[in-house]
Chains A and B, each alone.
Chain A
Amino acid sequence: MQLRHFSVREAMMPKKLTAFSITFIYLVVATLWIALTDFALGYFISDPGPLTIFQTYKGIAYIIVTSVGLYWLIKKHDKQLNIKEEKIKKNIDIQQRERKYAEQRLQESEKKYRLLFEQNPQPMWIYNPETLAFVEVNQAAISHYGYTEEEFKNMTIKDIRPESDIPALQKTLTEVMGEHRYGQEWTHQKKDGTVISVSISSGPIEFEGNQFRLVVAKDITEQKKAEKQLLNSLIEGEERERKRIAKELHDGLGQYLSASNMNFEAIREDIADLPEKRVKQFQNGINLLQAAIGETRNIAHNLMPSAIEDYGLELAVRALVDHLRKSSDITYSYSSKLEGLALKQQTQINLYRVIQEALSNAVKHSQCQKISLQLYKHDNIITCMIEDDGVGYNINSSTENRGMGIRSMKTRIDTLSGDIEFNSVPGKGMSILLELPVSSNIKTQE
């Protein structure tokens, strides 16, 4: 069945005619011809005269036959060569077309990605990590920061930051070299001086044959403001609730306890007639009632020191220190000089709470003999320094409980746009430094 696909010619002829196969066929055919025809002539003709003549005819016939054969073979060979050539040509054509198409696609995609950079709503830029110079900036960066493209290209990434951040920037740059970083928070400054909070993501990029860094900046100023407001209102709500409970303890429970004490006091004289044991029991009852009144007072006071509202932070802290002084053997020193600053209520309460937390930490954990507390205003900063001479401790290896206290101190100071710093070496005491900007913490003029 398979034979059907094979023509006889194909079976007999080698598929590809090469110079060798042509010569080989010629050699075989010619040898056979000479041998066979000589043999045939010798068989039929024995006479030498006619034999010579026939030999001549045979030679001529041979030449004719081989010429025709050669012609046919060469022609066939040519044809094969042509087919091959055409095939190659066609291949080259296809390759060229494909290459052209690929180039076109590459161009299109470059254009597309370039557009992704140019038209990206997020400010983006590429900078040279060696010189810190801007290499490329996108449209969003130009409109958000207020510099023109030319201005940008003559600037370094240091120029869009407040002076004070430069050392931190330089430190970070050496750390991030060649790495991807996401969501790092930085402060940037626009051309008009506006300071914004940004979340920066960056990574290495090969651009025009150089190793640069690509930066995406997301303005999170509003987001941070909202977070702070939320935190503020949470703290405010908590303080309001404390105040409410303190007021109820003071105006409700406290009054009931005091009144019942008065009523018992009213019958004190008549008690003398009772047996001694009963008199003792009565006195014991009065003492317990007194303890309850004292406890109620303390709870109410700790919940909301009314002194802050009535007399301001400095006196409230003084009262706090006085109270602590009575309840332990620790020596306290307190000095303050806020120069009559009209601090916001919120600032006073938060600062008071942080001081309260710091002092109670020192009393509970530090085994100190001395605590000093200073509350000063220096130019435009409110500084509060709390020092003890106790055992000190490592902030990082703190227990959960203490960590919680520290976190809430940080949160409170955060809402006041301030900074808190703990300095401690085991065995060398501890100092806590609070710094608040005056401007955002004083009452605004109505």
Chain B
Amino acid sequence: MATIQIMIADDHKIIRDGIKSMLENKHGFDIVAEATDGEEAIAQCADTGIDLIIMDVNMPGKNGIEATQHIKRKYPEIKILALTMMKEDEHIRQMIQAGASGYILKNSGSDELVEAIEKVMDDKHYFSSDATYSVMMDLVETGGKKKKSGDPTDLTDRELEVLELITHEYTNQEIAEELTISVRTVDAHRRNILQKTGARNAAGLVRFALENNLFD
């Protein structure tokens, strides 16, 4: 198997050196280029037969996300492994959207780095364990089961109390006294409940409570 030609793009020399030191004892990896920002990375893709770029997300000038987009459009065969300090969901998502095949954190160990490179070169995706969790959670929250509005489980305990009193025809003033909170807070609760249940007025709230069998 031919050695993998790698470019490291990071604005910190110590990080580039660190990655080099982690890979120099391993077989099959060749660091052929280094870049200090997105522009340099793009420029160097032109004449070197690069297989994979380890790309820092936060770089001055053109950042990793923009550089990834550009490179994947121009050289779709080059793989990109994103690298960052922070595990921030949005960064991960944007790098993946831009065309990166994987994501590791700067404090990952050498074994993890090698595993990531090999997976990515094998046309697979790699997410560092921390990152995997974040992205998975996000998928669960947005893509998975999208709750339709008007699910009674969305209401907080206090909102259920307020809703129950509304169905008993209490006024805001009376609810405030009953629950020893301010009228203003009651009003905010009422608006939040309307927003969550999709009801337009008190009558709608009563119907919602009945339909969902909330109170006896």
User: Is the pair B86, A306 in contact by a Cβ cutoff of 8 Å?
Assistant: yes
13 contacts between A and B (CB under 8 A): A258-B85, A262-B18, A262-B19, A262-B22, A268-B111, A297-B85, A297-B86, A306-B88, A322-B134, A374-B192, A385-B188, A421-B182, A423-B180
User: Is the pair B110, A265 in contact by a Cβ cutoff of 8 Å?
Assistant: yes
**A214–B71 CA distance with the chains assembled, in angstroms:** 77
**A269–B154 CA distance with the chains assembled, in angstroms:** 52
User: Is the pair B158, A322 in contact by a Cβ cutoff of 8 Å?
Assistant: no
A333 CB to nearest B CB, Å: 7
Can you list, as one digit per residue, whether each of B157-187 has a CB less than 8 Å from chain A (1) or not (0)? 1100000000000000000000011101100
User: Is the pair B191, A376 in contact by a Cβ cutoff of 8 Å?
Assistant: yes
User: Is the pair A433, B188 in contact by a Cβ cutoff of 8 Å?
Assistant: yes
**Contact partner of B18 among A263, A293, A370, A433, CB < 8 A?**
A263
User: Is the pair A310, B110 in contact by a Cβ cutoff of 8 Å?
Assistant: no
User: Is the pair B21, A301 in contact by a Cβ cutoff of 8 Å?
Assistant: no
| Cβ-based interface call for A274 (8 A) | no
User: Is the pair B156, A333 in contact by a Cβ cutoff of 8 Å?
Assistant: yes
**A288–B184 CA distance with the chains assembled, in angstroms:** 50
Stretch of A123-131, A237-245, A249-257 with 4 or more beta carbons under 8 angstroms from chain B: A249-257
Can you list, as one digit per residue, whether each of B90-126 has a CB less than 8 Å from chain A (1) or not (0)? 1100000000000000110111010000000000000
| Cβ-based interface call for A290 (8 A) | yes
**Contact partner of B25 among A266, A429, A433, CB < 8 A?**
A266
| Cβ-based interface call for B89 (8 A) | yes
User: Is the pair B14, A335 in contact by a Cβ cutoff of 8 Å?
Assistant: no
A133 CB to nearest B CB, Å: 31
**A256–B13 CA distance with the chains assembled, in angstroms:** 10
Interface size class of A (residues with CB under 8 A): 35 or more
Known: A319-B88, A385-B192. A431 touches B185 (CB 8 A): yes
B69 CB to nearest A CB, Å: 16
A391 CB to nearest B CB, Å: 15
**A261–B113 CA distance with the chains assembled, in angstroms:** 13
Give the residue among A254, A261, A262, A374 with the most B Cβ atoms within 10 A: A262
**Contact partner of B192 among A262, A290, A376, CB < 8 A?**
A376
| Cβ-based interface call for B189 (8 A) | yes
**A113–B166 CA distance with the chains assembled, in angstroms:** 59
**A83–B182 CA distance with the chains assembled, in angstroms:** 86
Closest to B18 in A: A262
Can you list, as one digit per residue, whether each of A263-303 has a CB less than 8 Å from chain B (1) or not (0)? 10110110000000000000000100010011001000100
A158 CB to nearest B CB, Å: 22
Can you list, as one digit per residue, whether each of A409-445 has a CB less than 8 Å from chain B (1) or not (0)? 0000000000001010100110101010000000000
| Cβ-based interface call for A39 (8 A) | no
| Cβ-based interface call for A90 (8 A) | no
Chain A residues positioned under 8 Å from B24 (CB to CB): 266
Chain B residues positioned under 8 Å from A260 (CB to CB): 18
**A372–B19 CA distance with the chains assembled, in angstroms:** 43
**A64–B193 CA distance with the chains assembled, in angstroms:** 128
**Contact partner of B109 among A265, A297, A423, CB < 8 A?**
A265
User: Is the pair A259, B12 in contact by a Cβ cutoff of 8 Å?
Assistant: yes
Chain A residues positioned under 8 Å from B188 (CB to CB): 383, 385, 433, 435
B20 CB to nearest A CB, Å: 9
**Contact partner of A266 among B14, B22, B85, B134, CB < 8 A?**
B22
User: Is the pair B106, A258 in contact by a Cβ cutoff of 8 Å?
Assistant: yes
A305 CB to nearest B CB, Å: 9
- 10 shortest A-B CB distances, which residue pairs? A262-B18, A259-B14, A266-B21, A258-B106, A423-B181, A259-B18, A265-B110, A372-B156, A255-B12, A293-B107
Chain B residues positioned under 8 Å from A257 (CB to CB): 107
Known A258-B106, A266-B18, A433-B182; 13 more pairs at CB < 8 Å = A258-B85, A260-B18, A262-B19, A265-B22, A265-B113, A266-B110, A269-B25, A301-B86, A385-B188, A387-B156, A421-B184, A429-B158, A433-B185
A366 CB to nearest B CB, Å: 14
| Cβ-based interface call for A344 (8 A) | no
| Cβ-based interface call for B136 (8 A) | no
User: Is the pair B156, A255 in contact by a Cβ cutoff of 8 Å?
Assistant: no
Chain B residues positioned under 8 Å from A251 (CB to CB): 12, 58
**A268–B86 CA distance with the chains assembled, in angstroms:** 24
Chain B residues positioned under 8 Å from A60 (CB to CB): none
Chain B residues positioned under 8 Å from A259 (CB to CB): 12, 14-15, 17-18
